[in-house]
Structure 1
Amino acid sequence: MSRIPTSTSVTESAVIAAPFSDVWHLIKLPDFAKFWSKLEKAEEVKGTSPETDVVKWTFKDGTVLEVKQEEHSAIDHYITYSVISSQPALSYTSVVSTIRAYPVTSGRHEGDTFVTWSGNFSSDADAGVIEDAKFKRREALADLAAAAKKK
């Protein structure tokens, strides 16, 4: 059986009707459980080196991911993280994701926040993985919007 060729990247975006600072302050790996309804809890993994930020995300469906922060910029307002372990095991080798936030400075959405959430998967990720990632990011962005509006 041959595989259907598919893109191995996904990017979802949203305009969040909340001030930039309210949105940006939620985008920290240990804080994802404060907004993402699929997460049961997020906790920092102890015992890693001081320069390595690893967070364990426990999802409500029982899936446990350890994610490592690869990059963070308080100037350009983004974080990049990778999945370093998963229970149950993932069906693909790797994924690196980036969340970026931008203040909307003019136009109809002035004062709101534009957020993108991308994922770049290894070439062994199939179309189902990419579709699942698309919908999970859309749901998480909607959850982020709801949490930011409550501030």
Structure 2
Amino acid sequence: MSGAIPTSTSVSESAVIEAHPSSVWHLIKLQDFSQFWSKLEKSEEIRGTSPETDVVKWTFKDGTVLDVKQEEHSAIDHYITYSVITSQPALSYTSVVSTIRVYPITSGQHEGHTYITWTGNFSSDADAGVIEDAKFKRREALADLANAVKK
């Protein structure tokens, strides 16, 4: 029997951001993540891929480089779905698909603000450490996003 810890292969983090949804949605473009996410050194579109494919290179301050592919985008429903297609160094799991959704808060004490979710669905070979890391990275990025729209 292996010493692996059984774990869910999905993560979901959410936040209320005290800004209008349009201010938040404006930054939810893969190539713009470095404008708010403090872990990223830069995020840039990769040229030369097919016209139907949107791929962005995320270079993290720790040296990790991910190529992420936009899978879905809806300006009407305010969500973006992306997958990691390559990583240097290599990932310890096969795949992950993530979705960020932006919702307007239309009533109550947070009316006029934004509710945002960031989910990730990992392949079954992702271990508990991967899931925990993803949870904390999403929490940090959502806090960074909230700070960026306050400026």
TM-score, normalised to structure 1, is 0.98
- Residues 47-126 of structure 1: matches in 2 within 5 Å? 47-126=48-127
Count of residues in Structure 1 that have an aligned counterpart in Structure 2: 150
Aligned-pair Cα RMSD in Å: 0.5
Q: Which runs of 5+ in 1 are unaligned?
A: none
Secondary structure at the residue paired with 1:37?
Answer: coil
TM-fit CA distance, 1:63: 0.2
Distance in 1 between residues matched to 2:139 and 2:5, nearest whole Å: 24
TM-score, with length taken from structure 2? 0.98
Match in the other structure for 2:34: 33
Unaligned runs of 5+ in 2: none
| Aligned amino acid, residue 100 of structure 1 | R
Structure 2 partner of 1:2: 3
Identity %: 83
The Cα of 1:4 is off from its aligned counterpart by 1.5
One-letter amino acid of the structure 2 residue matched with residue 134 of structure 1: K
After superposition, give the CA deviation of every residue in 1:42-83 in whole Å (9 maximum; x if it has no partner): 010011011100000000000000000000001110000000
Find the aligned partners of 1:50 and 1:14 in 2 and give their Cα distance. Answer: 34
Shift of 1:5: 1.0
Alpha-carbon separation, structure 2, partners of 1:82 and 1:65? 10
